Amino acid sequence: MPSDLYAQALTRLDDAAEHSKAHPETVQRLRQPKQLLEVSIPLRMDDGSLRIFTGYRSRHDDARGPAKGGIRFHQSVTKNEVKSLAFWMTFKCAVAGLPFGGGKGGVIVNPKELSLAEIERLSRAYVRAVGRNIGPDTDVPAPDVYTNAQIMAWMMDEFSVMVGKRTPAVITGKPVALGGSLGRDDATGRGAYYQLKELESIRDLEPAKTTIAIQGFGNAGQHFASLAHADGYKVVAVSDSRGGVHDPEGLDIPTILEIKQSKGRVDGGKETEITNEMLLELDVDVLVPAALEGVITEDNAKDIKAKIVIELANGPTTPAADAILEKARTMVVPDILANSGGVTVSYFEWTQNREGWYWKLETVHERLAEIMKREFRAVYDKHESRSISMRTAAYALALDRLADAHEATGTKSDFAR
Ligand code: GLU
């Protein structure tokens, strides 16, 4: 199995192609990004020194609509990672049935080392560097790892200055006061929670008896934990990049959230501390990797005891680990489906910006629930009827939809004489 992230993405495409109606030409087109941009960003630091940062933006495919996907600020960003994440966005938007293609951006930086003013200058400089390649009808960024609504506000403002008109639809995940949508903040966690509710009825889960461990306590992990906890599920472990806490009796998530907000880390007091690695191997019913990619590998997959894995992070499971989990009959709700709630509400935000007509929170929740439940069922039905993994089913469904768009302009079958 390839260790390279993009090669891994392509194995998923090949697996899906076997279960999809897509013409080989469509598969061929999806093997590489439509555009992959690398920019250097010189930045004046607070102490007067100059630092050069490297940024990327990839537009993988835009057959179904403008490219869509976040921008991450992280020290381990690479060109290959951005390229892979953009590929995943194409499939994520297609599996959620959104009229978008896939994009992703990133800057190699540890934002925790920068002052707020430096982060603002970096955000604006990034937009100036990639500005001619993004826009409401071409490529629409959003938050991702270590970027947030504040950063989206600076980016939207900079883009608006560049084009000489206020352009809220260029970016999503903005503060509500600047054209953001109600319900965007918890959308990723909420979308996964709605899918858990579908699983609850399929598998007859009893919330009070169902234990959940969550690796990653950022935006997605926190909201998923809160919603599951409020619904009576037993969230027994959570962790962030520094480590985690475990209490087999169930954690009090509101308290853990308060501590995280005040101390900046997960710390439960009386609960036993655990490492991120230990958390993955806990004897729980549902495991939720909600941090970074590549945490479930061929080395630890056999030690995963959870029978259900809900991938809130992008790419947490390698293809080699997938094969091991499939043999163990573990149900993996794949990232492109499980975490598609975020981009779905981004779509609502983009729609509202273009229409200038803003929705109530209940409308956002209703429409998000409808899409999440519908697409979860569609993937689940394909998984059942074809006896393929949820992941392959999700990719195959997405590929069918991508094929409809790509092939509407013809394939060799139409043109050959
Ligand atoms: N970064 C998020 C993701 O990976 C959201 C993307 C978006 O809203 O465009 O799905």
Task: Tell me the per-residue pLDDT of 6-17, one tens digit each, with 9 for 90 and over.
Answer: 999 999 999 999
In a domain, 358, yes or no: no
Q: Does residue 203 share a domain with residue 333?
A: yes
- Does the beta carbon of 315 lie inside 6 Å of ligand 1? no
Per the structure block, which two tokens stand in for 228? 């599951």
Q: List the domain range (segments joined by +) for residue 265.
A: 187-338
Please answer whether residues 289 and 311 qualify as being in contact, where contact means their C-beta atoms are separated by less than 8 angstroms: yes
Domain end among 284, 306, 338: 338
State how many domains the chain has: 2
Q: Does residue 225 share a domain with residue 126?
A: no
Is 104 catalytic? The answer is yes
- Does the beta carbon of 343 lie inside 6 Å of ligand 1? yes
Q: Does residue 326 share a domain with residue 197?
A: yes
pLDDT band, residue 306 (cuts 50/70/90): very high
- Does the beta carbon of 144 lie inside 6 Å of ligand 1? yes
Task: Tell me the per-residue pLDDT of 384-401, one tens digit each, with 9 for 90 and over.
Answer: 999 999 999 999 999 999
Nearest ligand 1 atom to alpha carbon 85 = 4
Give me the pLDDT at residue 292, please: 84
Task: Tell me the per-residue pLDDT of 196-222, one tens digit each, with 9 for 90 and over.
Answer: 999 999 999 999 999 999 999 999 999
In a domain, 243, yes or no: yes
Cα–Cα dist 38/32, whole Å = 16
Domain end among 108, 142, 170: 170
Give me the pLDDT at residue 2, please: 57
In a domain, 345, yes or no: no
In a domain, 413, yes or no: no
Task: Tell me the per-residue pLDDT of 29-59, one tens digit each, with 9 for 90 and over.
Answer: 999 999 999 999 999 999 999 999 999 999 9
Closest C-alpha among 373, 378, 410 to residue 397:
378
Per the structure block, which two tokens stand in for 110? 């540890």
- Does the beta carbon of 70 lie inside 6 Å of ligand 1? yes
Nearest ligand 1 atom to alpha carbon 100 = 9
Percent of the chain with pLDDT over 70: 98
Candidate of 144, 147, 336, 345 to mutate for ligand 1, largest count of ligand atoms within 8 Å of Cβ: 144
Q: Does residue 156 share a domain with residue 131?
A: yes
Domain end among 170, 198, 219: 170
Query: What are the φ and ψ backbone dihedral angles of 189, each rounded to 5 degrees?
Result: -65, -40
Global pTM value: 0.95
Q: Does residue 223 share a domain with residue 313?
A: yes
CA dihedral defined by 387, 390, 87, 113, rounded to 10 degrees? -150
Q: Does residue 247 share a domain with residue 136?
A: no
Q: Does residue 73 share a domain with residue 191?
A: no
Q: Does residue 138 share a domain with residue 105?
A: yes
CA dihedral defined by 193, 389, 12, 14, rounded to 10 degrees? -150
Closest C-alpha among 338, 302, 339 to residue 320:
302
In a domain, 407, yes or no: no
Give me the pLDDT at residue 417, please: 75
Q: Does residue 206 share a domain with residue 164?
A: no
- Does the beta carbon of 172 lie inside 6 Å of ligand 1? yes
Q: Does residue 202 share a domain with residue 166?
A: no
Q: Does residue 320 share a domain with residue 228?
A: yes
Strand ranges, E, within 268-389: 272-274, 286-289, 308-310, 331-333
Task: Tell me the per-residue pLDDT of 218-277, one tens digit each, with 9 for 90 and over.
Answer: 999 999 999 999 999 999 999 998 889 999 999 999 999 999 989 888 876 656 789 999
- What mean pLDDT value characterizes the chain? 96
Judge residue 70's burial from the number of C-beta atoms within 10 Å of its C-beta, 0-12 exposed, 13-18 middle, 19 or more buried.
buried
CA distances from 266 to 41, 142, 159, 238, 239 (A): 34, 26, 36, 8, 6
Q: Does residue 165 share a domain with residue 280?
A: no
Give me the pLDDT at residue 271, please: 63
Give me the pLDDT at residue 266, please: 86
Nearest ligand 1 atom to alpha carbon 346 = 8
CA of 21 to the centre of ligand 1 (A): 27
Please answer whether residues 330 and 308 qualify as being in contact, where contact means their C-beta atoms are separated by less than 8 angstroms: yes
Per DSSP, what are the bridge partners of residue 72?
Answer: 106
In a domain, 354, yes or no: no
Instruction: Report the CATH number that the domain containing residue 83 is assigned in CATH.
Output: 3.40.50.10860
Instruction: Report the CATH number that the domain containing residue 294 is assigned in CATH.
Output: 3.40.50.720
In a domain, 349, yes or no: no
In a domain, 8, yes or no: no
Give me the pLDDT at residue 282, please: 97
Residue with tokens 């087109």: 29
